[in-house]
Amino acid sequence: MDIKINEIESNLDLSSFKSIPKDIKSLDPFDLENSQMVSTELGIDQLLKIKNPLDQFVMINAKFGDPLSVPVYPNHTFNIKPIAVYNRYIDYVTLGQPETSYPTSYFKGFFPGSEFPSELVEKCDAVNHITKLGEIFSTPASNVLHEPVLPYDCIEYVKGKGASRWKEGF
């Protein structure tokens, strides 16, 4: 669920980044406890891209995959499943050619803690066919929450109150 910032392409003019205009009406803060659960990539797209206002956090109804192992822990196996997608509002950019795509951010698997092997997270991404690592999409500013949920709040929710939603069958 962690967001990693990818390097901005060298042809992107950083002076084009702007703050959210002050005159845009503020929307109600997103409610993690009432976040929706989906089981398809289309369901994720409908909530993170199309809905007005956009959802910032979507739980994923997935089953645990086959056990995986990594060389770091040769005597252990791990069952993995995706549990949520966090949609972070980056900023808006004025482009000379609006149809041009600028991959500036991507979602990547994450597990809280510093000792979790990155190879296992990479295997999880591969098993779950995460293919949109460089995807950026635009949305009208009026569809974006201006009192956003922070990444830390999402992590705390998934580990705390929201754990019962994804731990079914665990």
- Domain of residue 73 covers 3-166
Domain count, the chain: 1
pLDDT on residue 2: 33
**3-class DSSP state of 74:** strand
User: What DSSP string runs through 80-124?
Assistant: ----EEE-----EE--SSTT-----EEE----SSSSS-HHHHHHH
| Whole-number Å distance between alpha carbons of 128 and 108 | 11
Return the pLDDT at 10: 40
The two tokens of residue 138 are 């635009």
Each of the 170 residues of the chain gets a pLDDT tens digit; together they read 333 333 333 434 445 444 444 554 544 556 788 888 888 778 887 887 777 777 778 888 887 777 878 787 788 887 777 788 877 665 555 555 555 444 334 455 655 555 566 777 677 767 666 655 545 566 666 666 555 677 778 888 888 888 888 876 55
Find out whether 85 and 108 touch, Cβ atoms under 8 Å.
no
